[in-house]
Chains A and B, each alone.
Chain A
Amino acid sequence: MALETVTLDHLPASQTVHIAYFRNVRNAAFLHSQLLARNPEFEYGFVDASVIVSRLHLLSAVFRAATTASTNSLITPNVHSEIIVSLSPSNNISEAYRRYGISPSTKDLLVVKISGPDGLSHDDIAKHLSQHVEGDQLPVTDENIAPATDNSKVAKYYKLNGLSWLDAIKDQPKKRKEVETLVVGTLAVRGI
């Protein structure tokens, strides 16, 4: 139903990106355990929405992971785990999983699936997700992501504390845009 297939510019046509958003997820512990068990049926990018600022933030990480995959330089087992690491400003993989990936206490969940040319179809993925994720599905929009964002966590993880010019912006939408820009920039320069 609300599984969205997005076309991202400058990605190989063989990679199709699907994204979905669930609020009030009730079985995060189960999904987390499936990931830990490396169950191939649950090979998704499960992102904790509380550390995501916007749709562009999520898609930037997806773009980075997919680009890395297309140049065969993944630093994690697959493109989905690479999405989680791509969200992190550091190269510490286990810390990235803890901070940006699903945990048993995750309430709001963003899901990314990248399928290859012979991979699963949109309907297969939509069906599998609606069967196995217990939560309220919403479209992946900035308006829907905003209420789930934990701004203090974002500031801490992306080292945005103590930027006086940023704190001085009183207009909230403008501030959010600046935070998004800083975060996307941080993702882009990870590891240097």
Chain B
Amino acid sequence: MAAAAVAEAASEPPQQHQFPLPAVLEYPASTPPYLITQGAEGRLYKSTYLQPDIPCALKYRPPKPWRHPILDQRLTKHRILSEAKVLAKCRRDGLRVPAMYAMDEAAGWMMLEWVHGAPVRVRVNERLGDRKEGIDKDEGLKELMRRIGLAVGKMHKIGIVHGDLTTSNMILSPSAESVTDGQLDGTPGSLEGEIVIIDLGLASYSTTDEDRAVDLYVLERAFTSTHPRAESIFDELLKGYKEAYKQSNLALKRLEDVRMRGRKRSMLG
């Protein structure tokens, strides 16, 4: 049945589902679910919410056969609920994250807004191209870094730490006004758009400067290893961060300490 539905879809290439789908995706839909990526804990499908014109991302955490069923159920449920809570909190406080559409924590899935655009990592790499010099004078790129800093600063200000900040977990989403030719995901190399922070599966409520500093440290390490040539402009990000988050000086001071010792505070684990 699923195979027949997949074959009907003209827009996406047909996909044989290698993994069993969650029950909710077995039901008929105008756009059959399409497996986007598989992470350590779950899978991400693209599908539609209620109507053909509302694309959605479905995050599914399948049961883990190696865990005791009761423990498995509890962990899955807990992780989905915690991500949902953080997303709802961010959205209410005006931080741009994917909106929640629906979820079933017992069945292990959540449906989120599909954010058009491309990961910041991709856009930054397109922009860098094979340049080796003049990167620290690229005003457009520096401005993007400040915007990333603003988004991260706002998140820390409302009391959320992300837990896995990388340039892959941010989408550069073109504004509705700029989309004229149906290119919802924007054009390669363009730095126009809004920063949308995604994948808050490891996020938590925290207002300690230690946690914020570790968040920034993880981002710094991820950034300098993903985009080594742009290392020199990371400071621009911290400028944006300071602008969005007034009490940032304590977190930034802490960042110095974290740089000296690494992400883990204790030497255990």
Contacts and interface: CB of A to CB of B under 8 A. Distances in A.
Interface stretch (A4-12, A115-123, A129-137): A4-12
Interface residues of A, number: 27
Interface residues of B, number: 36
Complex A-B, nearest 10 residue pairs according to Cβ-Cβ distance, in ascending order: A165-B94, A9-B29, A185-B100, A188-B100, A181-B99, A189-B88, A10-B27, A189-B84, A9-B48, A8-B50
A52 to B, nearest CB: 15
B91 A188 contact: no
A10 B27 CA distance: 5
A71 B23 CA distance: 10
B25 interface: yes
A1 interface: no
Contact of B102 (A12, A60, A192): A60
Interface stretch (B103-111, B193-201, B237-245): B103-111
Interface string B68-93: 00000000000001001101100111
Interface of B: 23-25, 27-31, 47-52, 54, 81, 84-85, 87-88, 91-94, 99-107, 110-111, 113
Interface of B (DSSP majority class): mixed
Given A9-B29, A10-B25, A182-B91, 13 more contacts: A8-B50, A59-B50, A63-B50, A71-B23, A163-B93, A165-B93, A166-B94, A181-B113, A185-B91, A185-B100, A186-B88, A189-B84, A189-B103
A184 interface: yes
A67 B111 CA distance: 13
Interface of A (DSSP majority class): helix
Contacts of B91: 181-182, 185
A184 B99 contact: yes
Interface in A38-64: 56, 59-60, 63-64
A184 B84 contact: no
Contacts of A184: 99-101
